[in-house]
């Protein structure tokens, strides 16, 4: 047993220090970024990603995100795969876990869940498990890289530098970073395991970039400012769940609550998810997610505009002409309070 005494930070623990800028308008900020991956693949877009959760990783969400040059990791539980018109969309990732059926389908060209035709047109594969620290997962990533050498592989979740390096060396291109920061994740409460998200992003980014890899900050963003902090901390991609929940493009019916419309949002380790996909919670495990209802927010395009506007504002405050420049332009200031909440925290 040992204790690390140095400070570890979440997004709420810091603000970004403003700096002199020569930018005269938010319009001058370039949010698109071009990534060159080791296998020769190139992707250009705005590196914000819809999470591969049941409610947010939908085809409808992916279409709107793609229209804005952003990514969606599709839920691995989608019952109806995209039609032919969606095949060549480079802004969708297919998601898989390590379950026997998942692995068989992914590693077999004619698998039941992923046909060779569908896989052929998708550049991204997202290998998604709650605990990315097992040797079994490292071996799984190696197997997927062997079978799909031309794909861009996203793998996670982890929260520390040593496992970021291990997964990159196993063949992943992008490491998904975050243990417990999500709005409907209860891993930290149930297991006592986790890592403050901003520090996780900073440490994993440093490890990944040293090996020519990339990271995707997953979880913990409550506002556009948090997304800016994630990019400022070195994240190459930022994945969103709760911020995209409740929109028209999310799965699930609109329900009435206290006289106003809401939609259901739940973690993928919640009892709701396990009831739907596994017939209940297995006797050897606990739920590590919760189910909430969130106000119905209408079209996700309005939220996307707020997010992109917030990012451009962060860049103009720091003098970053490109989103890629945010880390070198960003100085974090530790704070005790971020907001004046006298009239609420909205």
Which residues form the catalytic set? 185, 187
Contacts of 171 (CB under 8 A, 6+ apart): 141, 142, 144, 145, 146, 153
Name the phi and psi angles at 156, rounded to 5. 170, 180
Count of C-beta atoms within a 10 Å radius of residue 333: 10
Handedness of CA 294, 295, 301, 304 (dihedral sign): negative
Q: What angle do CA 274, 64, 131 make, to 5 degrees?
A: 35
State both tokens at 47: 């590196």
Residue at token pair 């994945």 = 239
Cβ(96)–Cβ(103) below 8 Å: yes
DSSP string, 249-293: TSSS--EEETTEEEEEEE-TTSHHHHHHHHSS--TT----B-EEE
Name the phi and psi angles at 234, rounded to 5. 115, 0
Contacts of 27 (CB under 8 A, 6+ apart): 312
Count of C-beta atoms within a 10 Å radius of residue 183: 18
Name the phi and psi angles at 119, rounded to 5. -60, -35
Name the phi and psi angles at 111, rounded to 5. -65, 165
**50 has which bridge partners?**
72, 240
């Amino acid at each position: 047993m040992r204790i690390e005494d140095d400070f570890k930070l979440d997004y709420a623990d810091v603000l970004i220090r403003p700096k002199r800028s020569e930018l005269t308008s938010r319009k001058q900020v370039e949010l698109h970024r071009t990534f060159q991956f080791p296998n020769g693949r190139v992707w250009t877009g705005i590196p914000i990603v819809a999470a591969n959760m049941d409610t947010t990783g939908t085809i409808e969400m992916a279409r709107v995100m793609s229209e804005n040059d952003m990514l969606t990791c599709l839920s691995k539980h989608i019952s109806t795969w995209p039609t032919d018109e969606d095949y060549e969309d480079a802004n969708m990732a297919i998601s898989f876990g390590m379950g026997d059926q998942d692995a068989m389908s992914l590693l077999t060209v004619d698998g039941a869940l992923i046909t060779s035709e569908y896989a052929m047109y998708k550049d991204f594969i997202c290998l998604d498990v709650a605990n990315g620290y097992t040797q079994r997962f490292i071996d799984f990533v190696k197997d997927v890289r062997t079978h799909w050498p031309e794909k861009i592989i996203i793998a996670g979740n982890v929260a520390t530098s040593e496992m970021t390096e291990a997964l990159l060396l196993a063949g992943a291109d992008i490491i998904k970073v975050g243990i417990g920061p999500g709005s409907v994740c209860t891993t930290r409460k149930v297991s006592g395991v986790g890592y403050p998200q901003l520090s996780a992003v900073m440490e994993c980014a440093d490890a990944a970039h040293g090996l020519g890899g990339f990271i995707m900050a997953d979880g913990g963003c409550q506002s556009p400012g948090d997304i800016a902090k994630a990019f400022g901390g070195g994240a190459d991609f930022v994945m969103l769940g709760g911020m995209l929940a409740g929109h028209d493009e999310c799965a699930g019916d609109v329900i009435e609550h206290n006289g106003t419309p809401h939609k259901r949002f739940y973690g993928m380790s919640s009892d709701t998810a396990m009831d739907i996909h596994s017939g209940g919670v297995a006797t050897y495990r606990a739920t590590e997610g919760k189910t909430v209802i969130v106000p119905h927010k209408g079209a996700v395009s309005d939220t996307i505009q707020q997010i992109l506007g917030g990012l451009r504002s962060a860049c103009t405050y720091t003098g970053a002409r490109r989103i890629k420049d945010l880390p070198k332009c960003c100085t974090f200031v530790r704070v005790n309070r971020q907001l004046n909440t006298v009239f609420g925290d909205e």
